[in-house]
Structure 1
Amino acid sequence: MDRRSFMKHSAGIAAVGGLASAVHATTTPAHEVTPAVKVTWLGASSLQIEFNGYTLLADPCFGEGENAFVMGDPNEMFDLAKGPNIKTHARNTPLRRTKLRPPNSVILSHAHEDHFDQAAARELAHDIPIILPPFDVAKIAGFGFTGLDPIDWNETRKIAAGSGNIEITALPAFHSETPQIAEILGKGNGYWITFSIGDWSRSIYWTGDTFGTQQVTDTTTAMGRPDLMIAHVGGVGTTGALGKISMDADDLLPFVATIQPKQILPVHHTTYDLFLEPIADLMAHNTDGALPLDVLASGSSLLLD
């Protein structure tokens, strides 16, 4: 079985216009305002991150309704040699399209269709800059995208955002704690993202689909203590042939204890039935408020200032 097509939809994707289909957003000049990073959760692992006039769109998924996207189902049992049953998946929560801004660039943790769906492939301008894992370049290029910037673990990119800067470093991410399953699913990225203007800076650690393995925690703690940890949870795959391929609450808690983030934003829950563990299970671990947990409704934002 081709690892790259393991969770790939079977139909082709048409390149038609939509969000940012004509002109990319341009960075607007910063005025005399207090620096801040605005993070909007759009459902699943999709995020809109705004800083000093620059908009970064992460893991875009725009499909809605009963047939939101097409992908294999990792929660089912199947023959690993043949791959999963390819089917449509419903979105349970609406996409708050009124919250969307034309993005300056896109960043992908990896290219499974619950992280970059068929609707996003149609709607995004095909020359928009995309930072992504090297493993996924061929797949995304096959959809017609041309502005691809592959970034491997420990590599860094810098983006000018008006008078400020965004620095993005790719970090290890392991989609499974079983090496053979992680290889099948492909090499994805986590990211450490630093936003700065002058002496002011804030940092985000976006985990991607990973577990807190020794390599992940060693690499991440070397970056420092993040102001915000955006963690992919949901306990995907627990009932399927792959085993668990995203963290649940029991996986996240020791990870958080090591990373020591100032805030935690859990994503990758609720939006799709793929996400088996309700977010209430994580919240139940925090009845005493000891975790710096921010649980957002889809379309809501938090501010790092």
Structure 2
Amino acid sequence: MRIKLIRHATSILQYGGKKFLVDPMLSSARSMAPVDFSPNTQKNPLVELPVTIEELLDVNAVLLTHTHRDHFDEGAARLLPKKIPIFCQPEDERKIADLGFTKVYPVQETFAWEGFAWEGINIIRTGGQHGSGDLAKKMGPVSGYILDAAGEPKVYFAGDTIWCSEIEVALNKYHPNISVLYGGAAQFLEGGPITMTSEDVIQVCRKISNMNVVVVHLEAFNHCLETRDEIKRALDIRGLSDRVWIPENGELITF
């Protein structure tokens, strides 16, 4: 298994002989308005893509946690081939199909069955909370995914979520070898974080002591306030740095 962080939540996963483009945000830097009601008012994305569009399109499928614009933007809607398979949560099926995509596969259930089988890869949808209380309800549904294939480690993309009971259930049920967490402590002026903080990352690490962790979703969108260095310091203090990867944009990690 190989995962290459592109930028923010966008990555290329090489898994089971296939290449997945995860949460594609393909717009050029500063081409999108900032997230409203955030302490940081810079335009998005904060940084350019570190690879060519051609490399991003050289994939077999798209894995989509949800359709907020920092995970599926106008650039992705315009540039992705309309016949590429897209795996998504059921709530996003109609939106993606209305954009002209013809192979949209909603992963229907969380935990009720063993996922969506595609090309020898099992894709299982998991739940999450995009914030706390009323804010989480306003942010709408989000999903994560477990991928499982013969000869590969079991990998968990948690999606845009804080530490919550849904994450704990997923870890207890599937015992992933590798978890990809969406960090950055994204937040507005009020309401608390809507993605994982360093303390949330630490909670995940403590839940499964032999699991490797990759933290993405950092330093590329204006409402993500916690930096790579801040997360690294928190992990160093807890003695967890040896099994947590915090890649730079464009960095490839092999497991």
Q: Same fold (TM over 0.5)?
A: yes
2:250 matches 1:294: no
Deviations along 1:26-79, one digit per CA (max 9) or x if unpaired, are: xxxxxxxxxxx1111111101111135411111011111221x357435269xx
SS in 2 for 1:287: helix
User: What is residue 13 of structure 2 aligned with on the other side?
Assistant: 49
Residue 241 of structure 1 deviates from its aligned partner by 3.8
SS in 1 for 2:127: strand
Residue 99 of structure 1 deviates from its aligned partner by 4.5
User: What is residue 23 of structure 1 aligned with on the other side?
Assistant: none
Q: Which has the larger radius of gyration?
A: 1
**Same amino acid, percent of matched pairs:** 22
Deviations along 1:189-240, one digit per CA (max 9) or x if unpaired, are: 11111131xxx3311111101122123202321112x221100000111x42
User: What is residue 30 of structure 1 aligned with on the other side?
Assistant: none
Distance 1:104 1:74 in 2: 37
TM-score by length of 1: 0.75
Distance 2:202 2:126 in 1: 20
User: What is residue 6 of structure 1 aligned with on the other side?
Assistant: none
Distance 2:65 2:210 in 1: 20
- Given the alignment, which residue of 251, 273, 276 partners 2:225? 276
Task: Check 1:257–1:192 CA distance in 2 against 1; reply closer, same or farther (3 A cut).
Answer: same
8 Å Cα contact 1:171/1:220 also seen in 2: no
Distance 1:266 1:123 in 2: 26
2:132 matches 1:182: no
Residue 290 of structure 1 deviates from its aligned partner by 2.8
SS in 2 for 1:192: strand
- Given the alignment, which residue of 52, 75, 93 partners 2:38? 75
- Deviant stretches of 4+, over 6 Å: none
Distance 1:139 1:256 in 2: 35
8 Å Cα contact 1:176/1:245 also seen in 2: yes
Residue 171 of structure 1 deviates from its aligned partner by 0.6
Residue 251 of structure 1 deviates from its aligned partner by 2.0
- Between stretches 108-117 and 97-106, larger displacement belongs to 97-106
- Given the alignment, which residue of 78, 94, 100 partners 1:138? 94
Q: How does 1:1-305 map to 2 (within 5 A)?
A: 37-67=1-31, 69-70=32-33, 72-73=35-36, 75=38, 89-97=44-52, 99-100=55-56, 102-152=58-108, 153-154=110-111, 155=113, 156-160=115-119, 165-178=120-133, 180-196=134-150, 200-224=151-175, 226-237=176-187, 239-260=188-209, 262-287=211-236, 289-291=239-241, 292-304=243-255
Residue 93 of structure 1 deviates from its aligned partner by 4.1
User: How many aligned positions are there?
Assistant: 249
Task: Check 1:287–1:206 CA distance in 2 against 1; reply closer, same or farther (3 A cut).
Answer: same
Residue 100 of structure 1 deviates from its aligned partner by 3.1
SS in 1 for 2:240: coil
Distance 1:109 1:133 in 2: 7
Deviations along 1:227-262, one digit per CA (max 9) or x if unpaired, are: 21100000111x424432111102221132114352
Residue 133 of structure 1 deviates from its aligned partner by 0.9
Residue 280 of structure 1 deviates from its aligned partner by 0.8
